[in-house]
Each structure stands twice: as C-alpha cells, then as structure tokens.
Amino acid sequence: MKFARPLFLAFAFFTVFVSTPVFAEDSAIQKQSVEIEIGDDFYSVGNFVELKNDAADDVFLGGAVVNIFRAIAHDLVAVGSSLTVNSAVGDDLRVAGSVVNLLAQIGGDALVAGGVVNFASESTVGGDALFAGGVVNFGGTVAGDLNLFGDEINFTGAVDGDATIRVGQKLHFADGAKISGKLIYFAKEEIEIPAVIAAEVEFKNSAKTVAGVADKMSSSFISTTRILIFAISFIAGAVLLAIYGRGSAVFAETVRTKFWRSLLVGALAIFVSLVVVALLFATVVGSLLAVLIGLSWIIFLVVAGALGGFVVGSFIFSQKDGTKYPRKLLTLFIGGILLVAVGVIPIFGVAFRIVVFMLTLGAAILTELELYKRMKKAKLL
C-alpha cells in the first residue's frame, strides 16, 4: 500500500486551515473516527486518533489530533493539526501538520512538514531527513544528509552527513550544534557561523536565485510540494461530506444511477463555462464579470475535485440515507487511494482522472437540482 503515502501526507496542508475549526464546531463529528486493517497495515481517520497497540507493519493516521506512543515496525504516515510522535519507527517516517512534535527514533528516512516543527534532542533519524516549516526547532540527530527549510530555524542538533538549509528570516546555531559534512545554506544575506559547526560552509544568496529556485530544489522537496496539493482534495472532501449530511447519499445515488447523464452534464458545464468566460473577456465591460465568474468556477471545480475520491469509493461502499460519517470518510479515503493509484498510470491514468472529475462535477450539479426540487416540494423554499 505504498501509494497511500502521497494522499495521507498531503492531508496536512488543508488541515491547518480548515479541519480544526470545522470539527470543533460539531460535537457529533468530534466523537467519530474510523479504523481499518488491510493485511498488517493499520489505517485510522478521525478527529482524535491514537495508536493503541504496537504495529507489526505500516501505519497511516489522519485527524485533527494525532498521538503516537506505540512502536511501529515499518513505516509511519501521519497527518493532523496537532501531531505528536513519541515512539520507535522501524523504517521511514512521513508526517505533517500544524504543530509537529517528534520524540522518536526513526530507523529509516524522515520527511516532516508543518507550521511549527519540534525535533527533540532525544530524537534520531537513521537515514536522510527533510524538515520544512514556518518555525523549525532542530535538536535531534540525523545519521544521513539533511535538507532543512524554514522561516525561522533554531539549530541545536547534529548531522553526520551534509546539510542544506534554506532560511527565510532567522537561522540560529546554539552551542553543541554539529554538522560533520558540508553545510550549504541559502539566505538573503551572509550569516556568521562558528567554525565548530561545520568543517566546510558555503553561502548562497537566496535573493539572487529566486528565479531558478524550482530547478535547484531537491527532488524530495518538489515531491513534498506536489504531495501537499492532495490535501485539498481529502480534507475538503471530508468537510463537504460533513456539511452535506444526508445530501451525500443523494450525491452517491446520482453517481451510481445517473452515470452517463452526470458525465455529460459535467463535460457540458466545463465547456459552457469556458465559452462564457472567453466571450465576456472579449468585452471591456464583461471582463470584470468574467474574472468573478472564473473565480467562482475555480472554487466550484475544486469542490468537485475534492469529492472525486468519494465518487470512486461509492462504487465500492454503498451509501444510504442513514450512512454514518465514519463510513463516508472511509469511502472518501479508499476511493482517494484508488484515484491516486490509477492516476499514476501513463495516459490511462490521466484519462481516468478527467472522467472522474467530469462525473463528479456533473453529479454535484444534478444533486443540487434534486435537493432543490425536494425542498420546493416540501415547501421549504
């Protein structure tokens, strides 16, 4: 289940901005979570998620609050607004969130992203590590190479290999900090670095390299950026399902019973919107209206994209009027994994994603019309 990592890691980006306030407002949702085991792998999604037992294989966790205090034999992929890892991880670590606290012993590589990242002094990484955050407090030990990105970085730890640091505002090395290999740092201006920190230091002016920064970023950082984009789909989908309530069952029924009609409506909606915006842009008066319509459609298209996983999953897990929210989350999660897995297949994967997108958009439009009719019939409008 390696393909599940991109979807789960991406979960964090949107969690920071959306999931916490939404889940906090609905006490019914707060108490709900879903757990599933596939082979020896363990998955759990919810508001408060905690690993209760030692894991024999890979672990995938996602939620507003995620706490891990039990040992994991292989990989850990976890995302959440508040995330704490205080255990041993046998292989690779992939975590992200608003606040990430690591007091862990990682046997393999580590990839960590967050608003605030705390890498405690007792923490160790057996392989290479990438840390990215607004504020990064780096106090642990990395046996391999380190890539570090942050606006404010407090460095008190140790790196046995080389270190590449990109800093926005502040980079501070405390007593005891040590880099055994070469240190390359990108900053707006040169920083005085004590000779005991690293045997070889190279400064690169980030202000002069902005234009080519994408080409100079490590492949792992670029992959992280791409991964984070998936967060919008999963978390936005979870929020939309919570807001829709029973309407999500109507949406799933529309997808299954009106497949071709939904696909046609979705394709027509995209075509018509592009034509209308293009025509409005051709006139001076209509250009502002075209921008507003275009922005509105972008938002609507993002909403449709967010529910793509739910569409795929609804063909596996049936949705009824009384379906509980955890089952909806599971449907969204499993469907999202399948969407990601199939999406990486050359040519077919792209075509598959386009079809799912048009199907989701069309079904969303038809669902809104159906709900409108039901409300009007019930004299609620």
What are the domain boundaries of the chain? 4-220, 245-377
Cβ contact 197:179 at 8 Å: yes
CA atoms of 253 and 298, how far apart (whole Å): 25
Backbone angles phi, psi at 353, to 5 degrees: -65, -40
Instruction: List the single range of 22-36, 185-199, 222-236, 303-317 with lowest mean pLDDT.
Output: 22-36
Of the listed ranges 31-45, 80-94, 246-260, 355-369, the one predicted with least confidence: 31-45
Q: How confident is the model at residue 21 (pLDDT cuts 50, 70, 90)?
A: very low
Name residue 124's beta-bridge partners: 105, 141
d(CA 173, CA 158): 11
Highest-confidence range of 114-128, 215-229, 274-288, by mean pLDDT? 114-128
Query: What pLDDT sits at residue 6?
Result: 38
Compare 187 and 1 and report the one with higher pLDDT: 187
pLDDT in the model for residue 346: 76
Q: pLDDT class for 281, splitting at 50, 70, 90?
A: low
Written as six digits, the tokens of 303 are 């909403």
* Nearest Cα residue to 128 out of 141, 149, 111, 145: 145
Between 354 and 180, where is the model more confident? 180
Work out the average pLDDT over 341-365: 82
Average of pLDDT values for 259-271? 86
Answer yes or no: are the C-beta atoms of 105 and 124 closer than 8 Å: yes
Nearest to 131 by CA among 31, 157, 52, 346: 157
Min mean pLDDT across 171-185, 277-291, 305-319, 353-367 is at 277-291
What pLDDT is stored for residue 165 in this prediction?
A: 93
Q: Is the pLDDT of residue 34 over 70?
A: no
Q: What is the pLDDT of residue 12?
A: 34
Residue 268 burial by CB count (10 A; 0-12/13-18/19+): exposed, middle or buried? middle
d(C-alpha 198, C-alpha 194), whole Å? 8
pLDDT of the residue at 80: 75
Q: Which of 10-24, 253-267, 305-319 has the highest mean pLDDT?
A: 253-267
Distance of CA 356 to the CA centre of its chain: 20
Share of the chain above pLDDT 70, in %: 73
Looking at every residue in the chain, the average pLDDT score rounds to: 77
User: What CA–CA distance (Å, rounded) separates 18 from 32?
Assistant: 17
Indicate if the pLDDT at residue 1 is higher than 50: no
pLDDT digits (tens, 9 = 90+) for 64-79: 788 999 999 999 988 7
Give the pLDDT confidence score for residue 183 in this predicted structure: 94
- What are the C-alpha distances in Å from 262 to residues 34, 265, 319, 352? 30, 5, 17, 15
Nearest to 84 by CA among 124, 52, 108, 117: 117
Residue 300 pLDDT: 62
Q: Is the pLDDT of residue 374 over 50?
A: yes
pLDDT digits (tens, 9 = 90+) for 294-333: 666 666 666 666 788 888 888 888 777 777 878 888 888 7
DSSP category for residue 376: H
Q: Please tell me the distance from the alpha carbon of residue 18 to that of residue 48, in angstroms, as a whole number.
A: 16
Instruction: Evaluate if residue 111 carries a pLDDT over 60.
Output: yes
Q: Which of 170-174, 175-179, 232-236 has the lowest mean pLDDT?
A: 232-236
- The two structure tokens encoding residue 270: 């995209």
- The residue among 318 and 292 whose pLDDT is bigger is 318
For residue 30, the model assigns a pLDDT of 39
- Give the pLDDT score at 125: 96
| Percent share of the chain, pLDDT over 90 | 24
Task: Give me the pLDDT at residue 2, please.
Answer: 41
Concatenate the DSSP letters of all residues of 239-303 into one string. Answer: HHHHHHTTHHHHHHHHHHHSHHHHHHHHHHHHHHHHHHHHHHHTSHHHHHHHHHHHHHHHHHHHH
**Element containing residue 92 per DSSP (H, E):** none
- Cβ–Cβ under 8 Å, residues 157 and 119: yes
pTM for the full predicted model: 0.55
pLDDT tens digit string along 208-231? 654 444 444 444 555 555 555 556
The predicted pLDDT at position 5 comes to 39
pLDDT of residue 92: 93
**Res. 142: pLDDT tops 70:** yes
